[in-house]
Amino acid sequence: MDGEKGGTAVGTGAALALLLGRVEVCSGKRELVPRTRASMIERINCNLGVATSDSLVNPIFQMTSNYKYQFPFSWISVATALSCSSFLCAETQVFTDREAWMEAVANLGGIYSEDFNEIQTGNFLSDTATQVGDLTFELFDTSGGIRPGTGASAIDGTEFFQVRLDGNPVQSARMSFPFPVVAWGMDYRHAGDQTHVTFADISLKPIGKHNTSGFIGFVGLAPFEDVLFSDPFISFCDFSMDNLVFVEAPPVFDKIVPVEEEGVLSEVQITFGNLRTDASYQLMRTTELESDFTVVDSGSPSESSDVFTDTNPPAERAFYRLQVVPKG
């Protein structure tokens, strides 16, 4: 990973395709398209060379060999038109099957989990922030904490988080993630009323039916950092959560700069924002969407924006993706 280098940088009207989930720019307008691989491949041939990807969030960028070709608008205008990325435009998807949720987020990168098994059991103080691993919990006028894997509220026989929720008087709890996320899921159990969650564009979403248990997961969200658990009904709810999973919000595309040496494309520099200084990233490339991606650059940024470089780009075209490297 390094900064911009010398050479002729073609940044205006470059024939580049920015593939962002379900958002497509063709003929200078944005439209939503079905998020399937078939439609993605078909729409790569649209007249402006900008297409879609079946990746919900993680951007893919296409660089074609005719990168000097002048479109009737600048690359900056393309980037602006695509500033509404897939996780901001797409509706939230709800999953009740963990395997289906995992498949949906498999290409997003940065998947983290918390099973509460290494957390000391005990009660949390009400109206006080409590650190639980990388998470933070706040209980509002209620009781809760980490429980041993026994009793009617247990989920899989191991430690879990439990809290009492109520609508009258109002008793709720907030869970905060260590960084912005775009997807999350959990195993749950509740006795009494239904548990409701509020986050991002979701308001008072009920989880399952009364006195039920199972898995629930969400994908396709604007980045957010916390979830509110509540019960709007007048009777109380005993809520348990275990095996939490969440996906870090991806980097934000800024610009892409092809660099020439003696009239030949020598490298491609891609700038990303929304980077974490405590994380490592990989710039990955493939020449065919059906093929695996190969790492071409990596590094840990010292600021929230940085440049990743492919020093040996293919002669005809390439697809690029930046992924966070999970810790551990």
* DSSP string of 28-86, one letter each residue: TEEEE---SHHHHHHHTTSTTS----S-SSS-EEEEETTTT---SS-HHHHHHHT-S-H
The better pLDDT of the pair 295, 15 is held by: 295
Higher pLDDT: 52 or 103? It is 103
At 254 the pLDDT is 84
Both 287 and 313 in one domain: the answer is: yes
Number of H helices, E strands in the chain: 4, 23
Q: What pLDDT, in 10s, does the model give residues 74-107?
A: 222 222 222 233 333 457 899 999 999 999 888 7
Which pLDDT value is given to residue 90?
53
pLDDT for residue 144 is more than 80: yes
- 101 falls within a domain: no
Mean pLDDT for 156-164 is 96
Instruction: Tally the domains of the chain.
Output: 2
The reply to whether 149 and 190 lie within a common domain is yes
Query: Band of the pLDDT at 322, cuts 50, 70, 90?
Result: confident
pLDDT value at position 183? 94
Give yes or no: residues 232 and 135 share one domain: yes
Structural domain containing residue 209: 110-248
In the listed set 248, 272, 300, which residue is the last one of a domain according to the structure?
A: 248
The verdict on 80 and 124 lying in the same domain is no
Helix (H) or strand (E) holding 40: helix 37-43
User: At 324, is the pLDDT very low, low, confident or very high (cuts 50, 70, 90)?
Assistant: confident
Is residue 103, in this structure, part of any structural domain at all? no
The answer on 189 and 315 residing in a single domain is no
221 with 148, same domain: the answer is yes
Question: What integer pLDDT is reported at residue 323 of this predicted model?
Answer: 83
pLDDT digits (tens, 9 = 90+) for 115-125: 999 999 999 99
